[in-house]
Structure 1
């Protein structure tokens, strides 16, 4: 049954690679270019998963407990994670699928992410990780906090998502010269045609929904998750404890790598690309911050930003907000400030030349 994790991960990796489903770029573009399409795509995936999962819960097919809300850890950890994904050049899932494309910088970030996640969960920093989570609110479920059904929240989310998507689709499109297809039929659709982010989001939402019954069939009472499974790989390699660390989630993240590799090879996008020294250092530092922040926050852009939001928890939505704020903060220092300094320097140089 654990091999279903490999299949689910392969589907996710394939879809995300072909659809360029990158939440890091999406959050960054909201700030830099005022482009919200990827954020709206995320809302589509959240809505689909939320409707499906709560339907399965009401049918008694799966179980879910929101637990408590470690709000300090969620706020601080998500902000740090947001900074880390800019430095690493991709979020947790994005780093996995880009590693499958042959991007060496993503492998460097991935190692830092796995190492810090393992250190936080079972290593020297475990007391720090567990200590901050003791500051918590008793209720994590948003519907339980207000004492009402979850469905009004789901309907509200679905309406907002539909409105934003329709408004976006109605905007005038920039004309892009069409290239003559080199393939035909299914091969063209799978490996050559550019996938729309909204179509990709629908598939991601369905895969996220599929993950729940597949995972719970193995005793893992959760959906998609990246941080703990990534840490489990390193923990297993170091300890050899297969009973504790080899699980559905571990096969899931390995499947993302496999699926992305297949997609990249099929679309002729796979090639090894080595970063320069500065990018390598930034990737590793970003991976470290990703592992640190996601461990504190209890999830990454998938675990919190996609799954816990769909489950209508405070942890998910608060995490998403501070993750985006962390991304915007890092984007200012990495992209905006250097450009501003360069423009001021160029202006000063022109004035000196003129005088």
Structure 2
């Protein structure tokens, strides 16, 4: 039943909102603040999903084919997508869940993202999309290319994750005394307590595993995915063709719903109108996201979380270029203006 997409999406939206799981901020902070925690959290989610999904494949529950590797489209599209998420203030999934919190800027970015994704997939830019994706390498699977078992790569990833966890646990903790009485209980944990990004990552990895059999039960042979379902909503709205309505569409609508529930219950929902500059940047960023993710065959979730877990060239190379695109945009949006401002102050002084 495609309604399971709504349930899976609602779980994902709830967890991402409560855990503040923002890959845009995480990739940006790697460059600006030298803070890698959100990137580490992503690696944890990838490792959890990879173990679970390949167990499902080996037991015959689901099927997966890596296909060919459209390397030109992945590199160009991922870099553009990385630039777009900085201007939009959130990646594709982050934009969906932040829209559920009432951020009008995210609504603007989401509209641009959905429309451009539809234009790339069935509109006047479809020939551009198709021609760039036509340049491929025959094997997209890293294990198949190198002729080794996928479990070797999973074991390496798990070892890296364990090393990260040990390193982070052994870091000295800064304890800030609180004057508030210590609270406990399920309600406090769900709606008040700040979730650790690593705990959030484990939950996201588990939801990503769940998405595969639920999606394939409806005939959609994929896991979590944001870009194509987002485009499908626009395509259905324009054409009325019900074939565009599938499990993935319910997934992204569920992300919005789950985030809304979490934000309302934690008293974090409120409508926030951006200023003119932010609104324009959000729309530009949304369009760049839609163009880049459609070209690359996935966003920071479709490629950065799912295709990485499947140990594909597409996933890991896309993740690399998304990060590079994010760093490039962060330099021009955040770092360079601060340098210019500092130079101006020192000159006038």
Taking the aligned partners of 1:69 and 1:174, their CA distance within structure 2 comes to 45
Alignment partner of 1:257 is 2:256? yes
Shift of residue 160 of structure 1?
Answer: 0.6
The equivalent residue for 1:65 is 65
1:177 CA displacement = 3.4
- C-alpha displacement of 1:182: 8.7
What is the Cα deviation at residue 183 of structure 1?
Answer: 6.2
Q: Structure 1 residues 53, 104: CA separation in 2 closer, same or farther (over 3 Å shift)?
A: same
Deviates more, 1:171-180 or 1:309-318: 171-180
- 2:63 is paired with a residue whose SS is coil
Contact in 2 for aligned 1:78/1:297 (Cα 8 Å) = yes
1:231/1:181 CA distance change after superposition, 3 Å: farther
The residue that corresponds to 1:101 in the other structure is 101
Name the residue aligned to 2:276.
277
Question: What CA distance in whole angstroms lies between the structure 2 residues aligned with 1:181 and 1:148?
Answer: 55
Q: 1:145, 1:159 → 2: CA distance? A: 22
- Counterparts of 1:175-254 in structure 2, within 5 Å, are 175-178=175-178, 180=180, 184-242=184-242, 244-254=243-253
Aligned to 1:298: 297
The 2-side partners of 1:142 and 1:86 are apart by 29
Structure 2 counterpart of 1:55: 55
Q: Is the 8 A contact 1:10 1:260 kept in 2?
A: yes
- Cα 1:181–1:102, aligned 2, differ >3 Å: closer, same or farther? farther
Matched, 1:113 2:105: no
Looking at structure 2, the residues matched to 338 and 176 of structure 1 have their Cα atoms a distance apart, in angstroms, of: 33
Question: What RMSD, in angstroms, separates the aligned Cα atoms of the two structures?
Answer: 0.9
- Structure 2 equivalent of residue 322 of structure 1: 321
- 1:245-285: CA deviation from partner (whole Å, max 9, x where unpaired): 00000000000000000000000000000000000000000
Does the Cα contact within 8 Å between 1:183 and 1:192 map onto a contact in 2?
A: no
Cα distance in structure 2, aligned partners of 1:38 and 1:204: 13
Q: Is the contact made by 1:96 and 1:106 (CA closer than 8 Å) also made in structure 2?
A: yes
> Is 1:6–1:255's contact at 8 Å kept on the other side of the alignment?
yes
Structure 2 residue runs of 5 or longer lacking an equivalent are: none
* Runs ≥4 residues deviating over 4 A: 181-184
Q: CA–CA distance in 2 between the matches of 1:165 and 1:156? A: 14
Superposed displacement of residue 173, structure 1: 2.2
Match of residue 91 from structure 2: 91
- CA shift at 1:166, angstroms? 1.5
CA distance in 2, matches of 1:102, 1:170: 38
Matching of residue 74 in structure 1 with residue 94 in structure 2: no
- Over residues 92-122 of structure 1, what are the superposed CA-to-partner deviations in whole Å (9 max), with x where a residue is unaligned? 0000000000000000000000000000000
1:144 aligns with 2:144: yes
Distance 1:170 1:104 in 2: 40
Query: Which residue in 1 is equivalent to 2:311?
Result: 312
Partner of 1:45: 45
Kindly provide the CA deviation profile for residues 72-92 of structure 1, in whole angstroms up to 9, marking residues without a partner as x.
000000000000000000000
Q: For the Cα contact (< 8 Å) 1:115–1:234, is it kept in 2? A: yes
Match of 1:268 in 2: 267
- Cα distance, 1:181 vs. partner? 5.5
Tell me, what secondary structure is at the counterpart of 1:140? coil
Contact 1:181 / 1:188 at 8 angstroms: preserved in 2?
no
User: 2:7 aligns to what?
Assistant: 7
Secondary structure of 1:307 counterpart: helix
Q: Which residue does 2:27 correspond to in 1? A: 27
| Counterpart for residue 122 of structure 2 | 122
Work out the CA distance in 2 between the residues paired with 1:145 and 1:180. Answer: 56
Structure 2 CA distance, aligned partners of 1:38 and 1:233?
Answer: 30
Matched residues in 2 for 1:304 and 1:209: separation? 15
Counterparts of 1:28 and 1:180, CA distance in 2: 32
Q: Tell me, what secondary structure is at the counterpart of 1:221?
A: coil
SS at match of 2:323: helix
